[in-house]
Amino acid sequence: MSPAPRRILITTRLFDDAAARYLAEHDCVAVPSGLPADALDSDIPDAALSALLEGAVGWIVGQRAVTREILAAHPDLKVIARRGVGYDRVDIAGARALGRIVTIAAGANDPAVADHTLAMILAVLRRLKESAIAIAADDWRVVSGFDLTGKTVGLVGLGRIGKAVARRLHGFDTKVLVATRTPDPDFPFVEYVPLDDLIARSDVVSLHAPLGPETRHLIGAAALAAMKPHAVLVNTSRGGLVDDRALLAALEAGRLGGAGLDVFEAEADPALKPVAAALAARPDVVATAHASGSSGEALARGNLISAQCVVAALDGLAMPPGCLVAGG
């Protein structure tokens, strides 16, 4: 009698058939969470999650916090694969101490986030939200925006997504400034500058940095005050990079031209939900709900990479492209 397939809990939304088939072909079975299609796994109560994890040796996770307590309560759980990038929702120290493997799906959503970033830049500059609001109120007067062509765009960070954004901006004949600790010689069309210089010179500031103690509130009241009048701020990275209260104050005072926000501090701090709501309601703010990496193509890539990460970890194989192991 052949052994039972290894149970892999899937708590991400929109886990597709191709990724499930890959698991099945490698002696694994995808166990769905039963969440509604529009629900995030961060909404799963602890008790329900504990029941779902019973007997699971792998877990493909989206937004749910992975704590040491959860891992300790489920000793059979060998690998946790985030369908996304960044380890900030996982207790990496706890996972290491308990001998668990944690992976991310690097590169799966890079094109999607870069496209979304450009969409936000263009939407804010061309005042598309304001125009749509006016037309919905039967006001058909022209809302005049601004060109992206010829503007100076500052990128804070030049990782995979920052590079993808830089390549797209190059096609708009923009001047691209970059603040990063690791300049890349393969990007000769950008100018590397200190962050203060970038903030002062840019018509658009776009954030592509990780969130940590050194970068929390990287864009606060002082940085916002130093930006050009009517400059645009775009954040498709992490909410904590921006002091949302300070950003709201700057917009209310008319010191900025607008903002494109895919992430908010309220994601980590529910007490800031009123601030996020006030920002999202403004006509000069284009807001999305941490959706920049959630194109159909990006989700499919992330699903498959996550499935490959799980199989490689369970079988002791070398990790395939895109599978990055925490601390590896």
Active site residues: 238, 267, 290
Which strand ranges, in their side-by-side order, compose the sheet holding 175-179? 190-192, 175-179, 152-156, 204-207, 232-235, 258-261, 285-287
CA distance 12 to 114: 22
Structure token pair of residue 154: 């500052």
User: 84 — phi, psi (to 5°)?
Assistant: 160, -170
Reduced to 3 DSSP states, what percent helix, strand and coil does the chain have, rounded to the nearest 5? 40, 20, 45
Quote the CA–CA distance of 190 and 169 in Å, as a whole number.
Answer: 10
- Rg of the chain's alpha carbons, rounded to an integer? 21
Rounded to whole angstroms, how far apart are CA atoms 284 and 16?
A: 36
Distance CA 213, CA 211 (A): 7
